[in-house]
Amino acid sequence: MKNWLDKTILAPVKRRSFMKWSTAVSGAAMASSALPLKAIASATADNNVIASDTKTTWSACMVNCGSRCALQVHTKDGVITSVESDNRGDDKEFGQHQIRACLRGRSIKGRVYNPDRLKYPMKRVGKRGEGRFERISWDEAMDLMADKLKYTISEYGNDSIFFTYGSGTQGYRTDGQHAFKRLVNMIGGYLGYHGNYSWGQIQYALPFTYGTKKPSAFGSYTSEIKNAKLLVMFGYNPAETRMSGGGEIYEYTQALRESGVRTIIIDPRYTDTMLGKEDEWLSIRPGTDAALVEAMAYVMITENLVNQEFLDTYCQGFDEKTMPAGAPANGHYKAHILGQGADKTAKTPEWAAKITGIPAKKIIQLAREIGTTKPAYIVQGTGIQRQANGEQTTRAICMLPILTGNIGLPGTHTGDMPANFGYPVPTLPSGSNPVKVQIPFFLWTDAITRAHEMTDKTDGLKGGTKLENPIKFIISYAGNALINQHSQINKTKEIIADESLAEFIVVVDNHMTPSARYADLLLPDVTTIENTEVSSDGYASGSMGAVVPLVPAIKPLYECRSAYEMCTMLAQRFGIEEKYTEGRTHEQWVEHLYAGARAKDARLPTLEQLRVQGPFQILAPETGRIALEDFRKDPIKHALGTPSGKIEIYSTKLADIANEWTLREGDVITPLPQYVTTWESHLDPKTREFPLQLVGFHTKGRVHSTYHNVPVLREAVMDGVWINPIDAAARDIKNGDAVRIFNDRGETRVLAKVTPRIMPGVMALGEGAWYKPGKNGVDMGGAINSITSQRPTPLSKGNPQHTNLVEIAKA
């Protein structure tokens, strides 16, 4: 182990030249076709009027990667012949560059014409989960759904209706979940949720540090990297998560190319964001980033490398003189780091080395570099906060720019995720939800089985102190989280399969996903290629926004309908069709809302021009690109939304929560951002049985679970578990072997990828593979949630998907 650490951690990886852009973005050499735009279809108000000739129409890949990439769909006689990406612009200037789709978006034809495609409304005829259905008419389907909704509302109340988290289609403004939630709000509302699977912990935790006045402005844009002298990235991996021309990777890569900024990446896995573009890779044990930060803080404090003036002026709780009234003696951050706090443990580099796997001398070197280099851009990805101690870790990483004063100045960042500019295209108004109580997104299965036990002080409810009713009716729109993307699949299956609990489940989707097999009623949705829309860009597009047109390229296949059409039919059955539609068709809503946008912003082209010319690109304003710049200039006038108005190292609100909430054994909430040893860490006694840590990651072959059923992507991107040669040799596992990964929650089968790009003691498995149960409930599809846990994180009650102890063996 020591020799491997010396070679990979102590020796910086040599910087290599940048890859050619088309390869770096796509992960494969996929140059755009040189076909000219021919016979571009004019806009039509009738989705079904599709001419029988050769056409090119604009559409988009609208899955949940954070981008929203333009597509040109070529058709002949109403059939897709090929799909081309954006080929406008010359890529020489950011903001004028091509919004070029990656290999996933370019394979969207495989989603449209897929054998898994849902073709007709169907109702369940076997046991729930068997996947046995019979075809019914749309009228029968809508009658059934309306009757079940009416029964549920009458018998249990509107708070027993729940929408599961869904990420299969993102970016709709007049369709999808907007359409369904508008309808259900008009008939009394539904049980809502707060947070999300992607970054529930970081969004919940950072307002305790940076306040609530600017919840979207904790981060600087990635464009500020070019003004920095040092870039430190904790698990930030845009080359795999945001790899298209519409994603952060374009701006990130451009900033690195322009500045040559020294780059240090801290991650247990050598990701594709590195590939020679970093100066140094530090591999770290999962869940221990906060310990690394505390040890660096020890060096900075003892060597006088902190910015004391910044800490005194802008912060609460670094030392005794800025602590709030009533706080405990030696409860401040400095005392905690130096071992004068409650745990009496000095957070020395030697202490952290045993926890993190990073040698003490490297921690000292890194601390001195961060403490003396300004400006420094310090950023984190969101995989870090999907740990059992995610809230503490995300606040801890933010301590590095706070301690050094690298906040509010050019080339700096707050330690949060990067900021992104999204152009606000109006949405179909959904109205107000009469049901005010909300559950944490991750606890929906708890709200089925133990609703009457759940309170604001035990389970993080918002908008109320308790739940009155359990979930009885589930609507899952583009929501493979019903089974596949929710933790601990075996436990979820038991809950969902019990018809005495959740009594009726509606799934609206494009394909027969693992979640769709558990529906009582299946409704086939149109794909984005068959739909009409004006969408905004994604939430991870850097400092460029875009307005993206969707023009139906083909008629909806089979009997597929849009969510808006479905809801209009349901509204008829509730006697509120006129109220729901306001006399408008789906296309007329698109026209109406876009006209409202144009009335506010004269830069926008007409709808007809947009549909012919393609996405309209808009750069973020020059002001506001640096997080907390106004606060740095005037902390009184621009006070933050914390109780003190300052950056709260010691959080008054968290101190109250720690005293008031009832926590399960082993959970910790503290007012300070500090390392907490969690369940199923590398220090857990459970390692005697399951000695390896398993984390998930986003693979280039799908977006979460979307695109998994496209064969060409399964061939292009291998689904395999990354395992270090040391761990593989100890188990006689060779590259390409079929292996079983297991713990006390389940088992999955997959191929082994033996590689030094993952540190010893840790394995990594791409999330989103479709659950495929075999004999005895063993998953044969490589679905990571077969072995993850439903135990939530302490504060946000979020998703701990990367905290798992497992063992691996040949299958």
Within a domain: 702: yes
Within a domain: 67: no
How far is it, in rounded angstroms, from Cα 689 to Cα 684?
Answer: 10
Amino acid at 599: A
> What pLDDT score was predicted for residue 401?
98
Within a domain: 526: yes
Q: Among 554, 573, 601, where does a domain finish?
A: 601
Do residues 207 and 189 both lie within one domain? no
CB 122 within 8 A of CB 522: yes
Within a domain: 29: no
Is residue 766 exposed (0-12), middle (13-18) or buried (19+ Cβ within 10 Å)? buried
Residue reference for tokens 């593989």? 728
CB 162 within 8 A of CB 471: yes
How far is it, in rounded angstroms, from Cα 211 to Cα 627?
Answer: 13
Q: Name the token pair of 10.
A: 């102590």
Do residues 216 and 188 both lie within one domain? no
> What pLDDT score was predicted for residue 536?
81
Parts of the chain with a pLDDT under 70: 1-52, 214-217, 537
Q: How far is CA 528 from CA 570, 768, 788, 811, in A?
A: 22, 21, 32, 40
Cross-strand partners of 533: 550
- For 169, the domain range is 143-197+436-532+562-601
Scored b (16 or more CB within 10 A) or e, 69-106 reads: bbbbbbbeeeebeebbbbbbeeeeebeebbbbbbbbbb
Do residues 385 and 440 both lie within one domain? no
The residue count of the chain comes to: 811
Do residues 154 and 299 both lie within one domain? no
Q: Among 418, 448, 475, where does a domain finish?
A: 418
Output the CA torsion sign for 488, 493, 498, 501: positive
pLDDT tens digits for range 319-372: 999 999 999 999 999 999 999 999 999 999 999 999 999 999 999 999 999 999
How many separate domains does the chain show?
3
Output the CA torsion sign for 681, 650, 207, 218: negative
Q: How far is CA 189 from CA 136, 162, 452, 463, in A?
A: 28, 9, 20, 14
Q: What are phi and psi of 246, to 5 degrees?
A: -95, 10
How far is it, in rounded angstroms, from Cα 514 to Cα 26?
Answer: 28
CB 412 within 8 A of CB 425: no
Cross-strand partners of 703: 706
CB 494 within 8 A of CB 523: no
> What pLDDT score was predicted for residue 40?
29
Do residues 510 and 566 both lie within one domain? yes
How far is it, in rounded angstroms, from Cα 431 to Cα 384?
Answer: 35
- Of 515, 545, 490, the residue nearest 705 (C-alpha): 515
How far is it, in rounded angstroms, from Cα 794 to Cα 658?
Answer: 10
Q: Name the token pair of 392.
A: 């503490």
CB 168 within 8 A of CB 63: yes
Crossing angle, helix 349-356 and helix 360-372, to 10 degrees? Answer: 110
SS (H, E, C) 747-775: EEEEEEEECCCECCCEEEEECCCCCCECH
Do residues 245 and 346 both lie within one domain? yes
Do residues 506 and 401 both lie within one domain? no
Do residues 317 and 355 both lie within one domain? yes
Give SS3 for 491.
Answer: helix
Amino acid at 488: Q
Within a domain: 102: no
Within a domain: 528: yes
How far is it, in rounded angstroms, from Cα 782 to Cα 126?
Answer: 26
Do residues 521 and 444 both lie within one domain? yes
How far is it, in rounded angstroms, from Cα 400 to Cα 787?
Answer: 34
- Specify the CATH number for the domain of residue 516: 3.40.50.740
How far is it, in rounded angstroms, from Cα 149 to Cα 803?
Answer: 38
How far is it, in rounded angstroms, from Cα 77 to Cα 334?
Answer: 71
Residue reference for tokens 């729940």? 162
- Specify the CATH number for the domain of residue 389: 3.40.228.10
Angle at CA of residue 538, ends 624 and 220, nearest 5° = 25
Do residues 776 and 700 both lie within one domain? yes
Q: How far is CA 29 from the centre of its chain?
A: 26
Do residues 344 and 473 both lie within one domain? no
- Specify the CATH number for the domain of residue 738: 2.40.40.20
CB 471 within 8 A of CB 783: no
How far is it, in rounded angstroms, from Cα 307 to Cα 409?
Answer: 14
Q: Among 586, 601, 616, where does a domain finish?
A: 601
How far is it, in rounded angstroms, from Cα 641 to Cα 128?
Answer: 48
| E runs forming strands in 268-396 | 280-282, 315-316, 376-380
Please give the span between the terminal C-alpha atoms of the chain, in angstroms, as a whole number.
26
Q: What are phi and psi of 301, to 5 degrees?
A: -70, -45
Within a domain: 712: yes
Do residues 185 and 280 both lie within one domain? no
- Of 359, 357, 358, 330, the residue nearest 345 (C-alpha): 330
Within a domain: 136: no
Q: What is the pTM of this model?
A: 0.91
CB 381 within 8 A of CB 417: yes
